[in-house]
Amino acid sequence: MPCVNHPEVQDGLNRCGRCRQPFCADCLVEIKGQSLCADCKVEQVQDLKSGVDTSGGPLQLAGIGRRFVAMFIDGLIFSPVTVGGMFLFGLFNPQQAGAHPEQMGALNPSLILFMLVVLGLNFAYEGFMLQIRGQTLGKMAMGIKVVRPDGGDISGGQAWIRPAVRSGINFIPLVGGCAGLVNYFWAVFTKEKTCLHDLAAKTRVVKLP
């Protein structure tokens, strides 16, 4: 195969360490031991600035505990909205204080509506934050980031697919089931600590140096 940029050159080619396409020596630069084409050089520099190691070594995956703390911090951010919404929708009604949670869900449509609003807000918050920097505020506080399997920055599609799948799974316990817990317990048994929403979006969560 000829050089991507110079079709007339077919000898002495090397492959870009990121996109793996063939280039001649004039088209490649070396960054941290990797030969990169012009387009991949820009992406590599951006990844290095973001603190993610894309040298080709194994990713420094974030532990489940650190990820749960990050999720807890994000939950605290929405706690005023959650508590205020419960009062607004009358979910602190004394007449329902002794009701079983399943009975409340069946008898009170406001609970379903309220949970949909909360899930929608969480979806928008997480998708927006992941798209602009790969981190929510909780992940920033815990020094972790959502990346591609190769360690690079995620795409806009991955940023929104991830919370979309997670929100859909988290809605299931509201109508009966424990899929929300299974989503996270999945990460305990997978080699790369991937939850179901990580698998769907093809993402990983790493510790930043």
pLDDT, averaged in runs of 10, over the chain (209 residues): 84 81 87 79 69 62 88 86 68 50 53 78 92 93 90 90 86 55 73 86 89
- Does the residue 136 lie in any domain? yes
Residues 101 and 159 in one domain: yes
Would you state the pLDDT for residue 178? 57
Would you state the pLDDT for residue 163? 92
Would you state the pLDDT for residue 152? 83
**End position of a domain, from candidates 50, 74, 95:** 50
Residues 29 and 128 in one domain: no
Residues 150 and 190 in one domain: yes
Q: 30 lies in which domain range?
A: 14-50
Residues 31 and 108 in one domain: no
Structural domains of the chain, count: 2
- Does the residue 59 lie in any domain? no
- Does the residue 37 lie in any domain? yes
Residues 21 and 112 in one domain: no
Query: pTM score, two decimals?
Result: 0.62
Residues 110 and 167 in one domain: yes
Residues 23 and 124 in one domain: no
- Does the residue 30 lie in any domain? yes
- Does the residue 44 lie in any domain? yes
Q: Residues 14, 33: contact at Cβ < 8 Å? A: no
Q: What's at 145, amino acid-wise?
A: K
> What pLDDT, in 10s, does the model give residues 94-132?
454 444 544 444 446 767 777 788 888 889 999 999 999
Residues 72 and 163 in one domain: yes
Residues 202 and 123 in one domain: yes
Q: Residues 205, 193: contact at Cβ < 8 Å? A: yes
Would you state the pLDDT for residue 170? 72
> What pLDDT, in 10s, does the model give residues 150-168?
888 899 999 999 999 988 8
Residues 180 and 93 in one domain: yes
Residues 34 and 83 in one domain: no
- Does the residue 9 lie in any domain? no
Would you state the pLDDT for residue 176? 43
- Does the residue 82 lie in any domain? yes
Residues 26 and 103 in one domain: no
- Does the residue 83 lie in any domain? yes
